[in-house]
Amino acid sequence: MPAWRIAAALAIVGVAFPAIAEIPAADRKSGYDFMSRESRAMQDDDTANAGMLWVLDGETLWNRHVGAEKSCAGCHGDARTSMKGVAARYPAFSPALGRPVNLEQRINICRTDRQQAKPFAYESKDLLALTAFVGRQSRGEPIAVPDDAHTRKFIDRGRDAFTRRQGQLNLSCAQCHDDNWSGRLAGNPVTQGQPTGYPIYRLEWQNLGSLQRRLRNCLTGVRTVVPALGAQELVELELFLMWRARGMPLETPGVRP
């Protein structure tokens, strides 16, 4: 069946049945659980997981003196202890900016403010490497973005974006990832869209990529206006997705087909 017919069928399903509520904690599944045995083996073995190539590069960058001759390690010391659990709590509210920032943005804030160096471009090898390295220190830690007075408003905005129908296909994220996650779309599992392994090494990309890159993929798929990398609405959507995946273990760097 061509993809447009499946999409049309999904849209009809969405019309026919009211939206199903949030996936209960016991039914939450990482993208890992939808993968083939071979892909899982790739993620599980650090010498087969291509994401580890970026983690190793990130470790080098962590110790490199840049800008004002400061390294990440100069302030934060050994990442294995200082960064443990950090990635599981991002995007986090920045009091200085009055809005949540994701891990990539946080790294760039450190880079410009503390190291007085040029920020990395989104999706650049260096930014992905540092993000993967920091994320790796939280592997196995439960996702726990704070749900408090500061973040609540932004989580709600992310939820609005998640449940809002958009694009020429008039689909919301929730119609696939809450209501039809056990189905398949053009032969591939729909999945729940849990952001458990970012940045991920996606075999299709032959590269490491951020959650925002993945979100932009889906948004292109429903043919809507795709926000630029780093856009506030994408950060809010990231925040909502991490809140939605609360309690699930982080797998960074994940491997996905």
Residues assigned a catalytic role: 218
List alpha helices for 96-168, DSSP H: 103-109, 125-136, 152-163
Q: Which of 207, 218, 227, 249 binds other proteins (CB under 8 A)?
A: 207
Question: Which stretch, 14-22, 39-47, 189-197, 231-239, contacts other proteins (CB under 8 A)?
Answer: 39-47
Question: Please, which residue, 62 or 243, has the CB nearer to other proteins?
Answer: 62
| Contact map string, positions 119 to 158, toward other proteins, x by CB under 8 A | ------x---------------------------------
How many residues belong to the site for other proteins (CB under 8 A)?
15
Question: Which residues touch 117 (CB under 8 Å, ≥6 apart)?
Answer: 66, 67, 68, 111
Shortest Å distance, C-beta 92 to other proteins: 29
Question: Please, which residue, 48 or 75, has the CB nearer to other proteins?
Answer: 48
* Distance of alpha carbon 233 from alpha carbon 246, whole angstroms: 20
Question: Please, which residue, 57 or 251, has the CB nearer to other proteins?
Answer: 57
The SS3 of residue 181 is coil
Question: Please, which residue, 45 or 113, has the CB nearer to other proteins?
Answer: 45
* Distance of alpha carbon 135 from alpha carbon 137, whole angstroms: 5
Beta strands in 143-199 (DSSP E): 184-185, 188-189
92: β partners: 101
**Looking at the chain, how many residues does it have?**
257
Mapping DSSP onto H, E and C, the string for 63-114 reads CCCECCCECHHHHHCCHHHHCCCCHHHCCEEECCCCEEECHHHHHHHHHHHH
Question: Which stretch, 67-75, 190-198, 200-208, 239-247, contacts other proteins (CB under 8 A)?
Answer: 200-208
Shortest Å distance, C-beta 53 to other proteins: 4
* Distance of alpha carbon 3 from alpha carbon 7, whole angstroms: 6
Of 40-59, binders to other proteins (CB under 8 A) are 42, 45-48, 50, 52-53, 56-57
Name the DSSP letter for residue 158: H
| Contact map string, positions 156 to 175, toward other proteins, x by CB under 8 A | --------------------
- Give contact residues for other proteins (rule: CB under 8 A): 42, 45-48, 50, 52-53, 56-57, 60, 125, 203, 206-207
